[in-house]
Amino acid sequence: QVQVAESGGGSVETGGSLRLSCLHSGYPYLLFCTGWFRQAPGTEREGIATMANTGGHAHYSDSVKDRFAIAHDDAKRTLYLQMESLKPEDSGMYYCALGPRTLGKSCDSFEPDQFTFWGQGAQVTVSS
């Protein structure tokens, strides 16, 4: 059984920083894609960062590029999202996701359907 759980959300002021963690277990394959998505009330879920579980190239949305950093520690089975220079528009529920990875293909996809397992979400609130 695959389990995925985010932690580290909270409230910060504009310009502040937060780090989200996502502990996962039970994924049945050695290679997989990881991703962070977020959703504000009344909006669609937005992909913001993805990478392979083994590291290397990371893919970011324009809205978070140069401010957020995704990382994965395979040994600890933990995915991270370091968020800097936070803005009020970064507020929302943040979700960690895992999905299949095809050998020879990148994890550069923000399509939610590409990810199979999701956490329950962590709330991030940025006040102005």
Q: Give me the tens of pLDDT residue by residue for the chain, a chain 128 residues long.
A: 999 999 999 999 999 999 999 999 999 999 999 999 999 999 999 999 999 999 889 999 999 999 999 999 999 999 999 999 999 999 999 999 999 998 788 899 999 999 999 999 999 999 99
**What number of CA atoms fall less than 13 Å from residue 118's CA on the CB side?**
16
Q: Rounded to an integer, what distance in angstroms lies between the CA atom of residue 73 and that of residue 114?
A: 21
Q: Rounded to an integer, what distance in angstroms lies between the CA atom of residue 43 and that of residue 53?
A: 28
Q: Rounded to an integer, what distance in angstroms lies between the CA atom of residue 78 and that of residue 116?
A: 17
Strand positions, DSSP E, the chain? 3-7, 10-13, 18-25, 32-39, 46-52, 58-60, 68-73, 78-83, 92-100, 117-118, 122-127
